[in-house]
Amino acid sequence: MATLPAPHRPALNVRPFFENKSRAFWTLQAVGWTGYLLLRGASSLTNLSLEAIIPVLVEAITGYCVTLLLSTFYGYFRGLPRVPGLILTIVAFAGATLFWAFLDAFTWSLIQNGQPGVTLPRLLAAFYVTFTALFGWSALYFGINFYLIVEDQIDQMQHLENQASSAQLAMLRYQLNPHFLFNTLNSISTLVLLKQTERANAMLSRLSSFLRYTLANEPTAHVTVAQEVETLKLYLEIEKMRFEERLRPKFEIDQAAERARLPSLLLQPLVENAIKYAVSTQEEGAEICVRVRLAGDRVQIGVSDTGPGLQDGRPMPSLSTGVGLPNIRERLVQAYGPDHRFETRTAPAGGFSVEIEIPFQLDDLSREAA
């Protein structure tokens, strides 16, 4: 018996604010320096004179312009080799800090003292303020850029994983057809040799309808349970012409589950397995039952037969191409990840069954809810 773990759904990465990086940068610049101006000006609320307001305004404008230059330098240095880029980034940060501190100290001295000049205490005080502001701005700048780089890499990895999954699903789906096609064409050839032209034409017509369906659907497409059942019935009509009364199909389909989606041609190889190991190995044939029912938000699917089941020393059923049950299990993993259940059972009295549980999904959830 094979069982897969409990449901888990991957989260999607969404960052609409940073989709337009240029707009995001200018928005953050405007909001950030406006907030800086308000915080620095809060200490001047008790003194609304020009001597108190103008230096704060000049300081914020200077910081805004200095960070614009820094963003240009940082963007250029990020394209350089790591060590030179890091050294130049530190030099640019130190130079910008000293330059802004000097302008800030000069402005305060000119406005408050009425004459140009820069004193060491004033320069040190300005340096503390500018260093703190530019360090915070730089940390935010590199933090946001690192976040965007990581998100871009995640998006690229997800895109590549989706492409790989689609390619693998297509490969798995295409593995299912050759064995059935070979058997059917061999049966048609036998009917032609026996001059049973009407039966040969009927089988050929049904085969063409079945192939038209398989070629019309993408290998990675999902279809409704109703469509999958109709395809199974078409397939069984072809096999019925080979085995006649030895093949006894039975369908128990819950009407509420008919619109549920599942991978295209997921059940056909399970029925083919049952025909190979239950119907063809017994003179009296076997009954093959396909059951689909809805249990809450889960779809439970079962394919069982009344054949001999798994006997001691007998290997797990698989198609002659060697893909059988492992193929179905892999398709479920590719389609649902761990959010499914796949089990095989053999009854003590005989018979083999496969049980599948997948999430209940609709093609148009909004329309179903309405």
Position with higher pLDDT, 12 vs 119: 119
Q: Which phi-psi region, left, alpha or beta, contains residue 305 (left: φ > 0; alpha: ψ -120 to 50)?
A: beta
Q: Is residue 319 part of a domain?
A: yes
145 and 222 part of one domain: no
The pTM is what?
Answer: 0.52
pLDDT at 6: 41
What band does 12 get if pLDDT is binned at 50, 70 and 90? very low
190 and 121 inside one domain = no
- 148, 253: one domain: no
In terms of domains, do 193 and 156 share one? no
Owner of token pair 């963003």: 71
Least confident of 19-28, 38-47, 313-322: 313-322
Indicate the residue among 140, 165, 190 that finishes a domain.
165
Say what the pLDDT of residue 152 is.
82
Residue 285 near residue 247, CB atoms below 8 Å = yes
Domain boundaries, position 153: 16-165
Instruction: State whether 49 and 142 are in the same domain.
Output: yes
For residue range 183-211, list pLDDT tens digits in order. 778 878 888 888 888 888 888 888 887 77
Phi and psi torsions of 332, nearest 5°? -65, -40
Whether 263 maps to a domain, the answer reads: yes
- Residue 370: is its pLDDT beyond 60? no
The answer to whether residues 330 and 293 touch, using CB atoms and an 8 Å cutoff, is: no
Q: What is the pLDDT of residues 223-262, one digit of tens each?
A: 899 989 988 888 888 888 878 889 999 999 999 999 999 9
The answer as to whether 224 is a domain residue is: yes
As for how many domains the chain has, the answer is 2
Long-range CB pairs of 247-251 (<8 Å, 24+ gap) are: 247/275, 247/279, 247/285, 247/286, 247/288, 248/285, 248/286, 248/287, 248/288, 249/287, 249/288, 249/289, 249/290, 250/287, 250/288, 250/289, 250/290, 251/289, 251/290, 251/291
In a domain, 33, yes or no: yes
Last residue of a domain, which of 144, 165, 186? 165
pLDDT score of 294: 93
Tell me, yes or no, whether 11 lies in a domain: no
What pLDDT, on a 0 to 100 scale, did the predictor assign at position 193?
Answer: 85
Q: Residues 179, 156: one domain? A: no
- For the segment 9-17, the average pLDDT, to the nearest whole number, is 52
What percent of the chain lies above the pLDDT cut of 70?
78
User: In terms of domains, do 137 and 268 share one?
Assistant: no
Which of 107, 138, 165 is the last residue before a domain boundary?
Answer: 165
Phi, psi angles (nearest 5°) of residue 341:
-130, 135
The CATH code of the domain that includes 292 is: 3.30.565.10
Per-residue confidence at 98, pLDDT binned at 50, 70, 90?
very high
Q: Do 161 and 280 sit in the same domain of this protein?
A: no
Identify whether residues 62 and 181 lie together within a single domain: no
Are the beta carbons of 29 and 64 closer than 8 angstroms? yes
Q: Are residues 185 and 139 in the same domain?
A: no
* 1 part of a folded domain: no
Q: What is the mean pLDDT of residues 77-88?
A: 89
Does residue 86 sit within a domain?
yes
Same domain, 62 and 196: no
Q: What is the reported pLDDT for 259?
A: 92
The answer to whether residue 313 scores a pLDDT higher than 60 is no
Residue 4 lies in a domain: no
Tokens standing for residue 239: 């096999």
* 187 and 151 belong to one structural domain: no
